[in-house]
Amino acid sequence: MVGAVNVTVAPALPCGITVLDANSDATVWKTAASGSSTPNSMRYTYNLNNSANDWFFTPGLPLRAGYSYQLQFKYRANSTTFAEGLEVKVGTSTNPTSQNTTLFSNTNILGSTYNTTAAGYLAGQIPLFTPTAAGTYYFGFHAISAANQLYLDVDDLVITEVATPACLPPTALAVSNITTTGATVTFTGPSNGSAYTIIYGAPGFNPATAGTSVPATTSPVTLTGLTANTGYQVYIRATCGSNGTSSLTGPVSFTTACPATYTIPYTETFDGVTAPALPCGVTVLDANGDNTTWANASGVGNSTPNAMRYAYNSSNAADDWFFSAPLQLVAGKSYQLQFKYKILSATYPEGLEVKVGLAATAAGQTTTLFSNTNLTNTTYATTVAGSTAGQVTLFTANASGTYYFGFHAISIANQESLYVDDVQITEVPTPACPAPSGLVVNGLTTTGATVAFTGPTNGTAYTVIYGPSGFNPATSGTVVSGTSSPVTLTGLLANTNYCVYLRATCGSSGTSTLVGPVCFTTACATSASPPYSENFDGVTAPALPCGVTVLDANGDGTRWANYNGTGTGGSTPNAMRYSYNGTNAADDWFFTAPLTLTAGVSYQLQFKYKAGSSTYVEALEVKVGSAATVAGQTTT
């Protein structure tokens, strides 16, 4: 049969050609003046909403048993942007369910130049069709393009009868039962097949010159000794005794399974897959259930092309994890994590902590290795090993087992994007005196605090160094010694910021590196004595300064608040502000911290004030009394 589709005037169909609108969307194959041989071709025109599921069929052709038939045709898309999809089958009727032998399949047809199909059994080629019984057969051309593409053209169909090869190639080549190190190859051999050769290798290898050959006498064939999480391609050739060998069939591609666990050293660049697919073993957790979480993203990597990206949620603070593959760690051995990170915009700082634990869950992540709530670098930075702020702490496994390293986005709501790339975990010598871990400060009072920690197993003494925020523990600070956790700090000032560092001593094994800082603020004093001053600037608005309270006396939800705004404070940046209620008159208070006054001694109040507009008059009264309540304020 030769069909050039040129004997009719488009859109009429040539004699015997039929079409089927299988998805009933009124978009079907038609003839169009777009042929390789002029003027016509069969054309499928896109549907805006529906994927293609549309057929055209050749006339019924009488084929003979024991003979083979070769199909050839020309095809094209009409764009390099909009990919088309086409499969060609053959069967005993124009019902799609009867089209049971696939001869051609391509879901990525691009370009406006006609391609001519090639005969053969390799990918993209058209194999011979050898009917098992004589009868009438129909060749079906099935458009399978995605919705809203463009045009798919087919022209110049040729179906010829050829002598059946003495040794037909195997068909139905497939790979199944894929494990980390093996796979099963199945196929259907020719009736006179006596032996088979499987050839496998890396994607793109040339089976004529490379690859590993596995002989077989029948299907299935088991492949062994493969590498986990690795791509392979498989070909097969039949031997038919004295009739020689067949041409190759293939390739069929597959990837071996991820290993159950990984060993150290571990490296993950996120580049071995096509984003947004996750690399082998990596998982994500949307802990706050807001549908915003980490994803593998292309075009943003330090190593190209991929990196893990957390994209902001406009309403919810980040609480989202990604976890490394499961890693086998050994008790008593130490492991150093390193990774690269950046953010999208310095205007929107991001927050990240990294933990390690025995499960890829939030609760299973028990040891913090890195924490920074003010990431501002817009180019990739590499983490530094160490025990001080912003560095990555060495991790020493207490027990052998499977561990996961968890990367936890903790940015506030409505920021931008946070990126992590090039994760490395290596085994390093365990220090003779490991640094303490789990440093925390609790039991805060106005003048004291308790420092708790977990010391190394050979720790004999500990040195706590504390001082004001930002101090250098190498040159300043106050030293407090202890022999175990906890260590108590005394003589601190109320409502004051401090930071704490810690170092272990391990007898003759020397001292550890410093751990810290952990920062804290002592409690407010229960009362203060004049002179008393409050500029409202020592906290980040809307937090209230120590001891200051507010009262919404009329219960309308409008009250005084500490406000950070340009020009608001006499001293920058904060001032107390009452914002109007559209319905209710103000009846709202704020009170100073409790002050201890002495009988018979006089006290002078001074403050600064302003309204927000010269048009809207505000009113204020100031009283003093023995309680921070309306009734307790007795003197105006």
Q: Are residues 182 and 137 in the same domain?
A: no
Name the pLDDT band for 578 (thresholds 50, 70, 90): very high
Strand ordering across the sheet containing 195-201: 212-216, 195-201, 231-239, 249-255
Share of the chain above pLDDT 70, in %: 98
Is residue 274 pLDDT above 90, yes or no? yes
Span 110-117, average pLDDT:
96
Q: Point out the domain boundary residue: 458, 489, 521.
A: 521
504 and 534 fall within a common domain? no
User: Which of 521, 542, 563 is at the close of a domain?
Assistant: 521
Does residue 615 belong to any structural domain of this protein? yes
Q: Please count the structural domains in the chain.
A: 5
Distance between CA atoms of residues 377 and 348, nearest Å: 10
**For residues 554 and 201, what is the distance between their CA atoms, to the nearest angstrom?**
80
pLDDT digits (tens, 9 = 90+) for 325-366: 999 999 989 999 999 999 999 999 999 999 999 999 999 999
- The answer to whether 36 and 17 are in contact (CB under 8 A) is no
Q: Is 377 inside a domain boundary? A: yes
Please say whether the beta carbons of 229 and 209 come within 8 A: no
Based on the domain organization, do 542 and 500 belong to the same domain? no
Query: What's CA 23's distance to the chain center, in Å?
Result: 36
Q: What is the pLDDT of residue 5?
A: 54
Cβ neighbors of 604 (< 8 A, separation 6 or more) are: none
Q: What is the pLDDT of residue 565?
A: 78
pLDDT of residue 8: 61
According to the model, what pLDDT value does residue 118 have? 94
Amino acid occupying residue 127 = P
- CA dihedral 271→273→277→279, nearest 10 degrees, is -70
Provide mean pLDDT across the span 609-617: 93
Q: Is-contact 257 227, C-beta < 8 A?
A: no
Q: How far apart are CA 309 and CA 271, in angstroms?
A: 13
pLDDT level of residue 250 (50, 70, 90 thresholds): very high
Cα separation of 510 and 434, whole Å? 10
Are residues 373 and 316 located together in one domain of the fold?
yes
- Strand partners for 488: 450
Omega cis (within 30) before 14: no
Average the pLDDT over each of 7-11, 59-63, 203-207, 558-562 and give the range with the smallest value: 7-11
CATH number at residue 245: 2.60.40.10
Can you read off the two tokens belonging to residue 523?
A: 């409690």
CATH at 273: 2.60.120.200
Nearest partner of 557 among 534, 580, 525, judged by Cα: 580
DSSP state of 317: -
The C-alpha atoms of residue 166 and residue 306 are separated, in whole angstroms, by 50
Within a domain: residue 127? yes
pLDDT tens figures, 3-35? 555 556 668 899 999 999 999 999 999 999 999
At residue 567, does pLDDT exceed 90? no
Domain-located, residue 260: no
Q: How far is Cα 3 from Cα 17, in angstroms, rounded to an integer? A: 10
Asked if the model's pLDDT at residue 584 lies above 80, the reply is yes
Quick check: helix, strand or coil at residue 252?
A: strand
| Strand residue runs (E) in 391-514 | 395-396, 401-409, 417-428, 437-442, 449-454, 461-468, 478-482, 487-489, 497-505
What element of type H or E holds 577? Answer: strand 574-578
- Give the DSSP per-residue string, 489-541: E-SPPTT-EEEEEEEEE-GGG-B---EEEEEEEPPPPS-B-SS----S-SS-T
Residue linked to tokens 């603020």: 521
Sign (positive or negative) of CA dihedral 451, 456, 462, 464? negative
Same domain, 312 and 365: yes
Closest Cα partner for 256 from 177, 149, 359? 177
Segment 120-138 shows an average pLDDT of 92
With respect to residue 86, please indicate whether it lies within any of the assigned structural domains: yes
Last residue of a domain, one of 141, 162, 183: 162
pLDDT of residue 387: 82
Under the phi-then-psi rule, with left for phi > 0, alpha for psi from -120 to 50, and beta for the rest, what region is 229?
left
In this prediction, what percent of the chain has a pLDDT beyond 90? 89
Global pTM value: 0.64
8-state DSSP, 388: B
Sign of the four-CA dihedral 70, 76, 80, 81: negative
Range of the domain at 376: 266-428
CB atoms within 10 A of CB 220: 14
Mean pLDDT of the 494-514 span: 94
Q: How far apart are CA 564 and CA 539, in angstroms?
A: 10
pLDDT digits 0-9 by tens, 130-183: 998 999 999 999 999 999 999 999 999 999 999 889 999 999 899 999 999 999
Note whether 65 and 144 are same-domain residues: yes
d(CA 257, CA 226): 10
For 40-85, what is each residue's pLDDT tens digit? Answer: 999 999 999 999 999 999 999 999 988 999 999 999 999 999 999 9
**403 plus 323 within the same structural domain:** yes
Task: Classify residue 362: in a domain, yes or no.
Answer: yes
Place of tokens 């032998």: 101
Could you tell me if 153 and 97 lie in one domain? yes
Strands (E), 78-227: 84-91, 99-109, 115-116, 135-143, 151-162, 171-176, 183-188, 195-201, 212-216, 221-223
DSSP structure class, residue 385: B
Q: Give yes or no: residues 453 and 491 share one domain.
A: yes
Q: What's the pLDDT score for residue 596?
A: 94
Residue-level pLDDT at 11: 83
pLDDT score of 533: 93
Element containing residue 589 per DSSP (H, E): strand 588-591
Q: Is 383's pLDDT higher than 60? A: yes
Shared domain for 14 and 148, answered yes or no, is yes
| CA distance linking residue 572 with residue 256, whole number of Å | 63
Residue 128's pLDDT is what?
Answer: 93
Report yes or no on 444 lying in a domain. yes
Q: Give the range among 263-277, 558-572, 590-604 with minimum mean pLDDT.
A: 558-572
Same domain? 149 vs 288 = no
Please choose, from the candidates 529, 522, 570, 565, the residue with its C-alpha nearest in 3D space to the C-alpha of residue 546: 522
Average pLDDT of the chain to the nearest whole number:
94
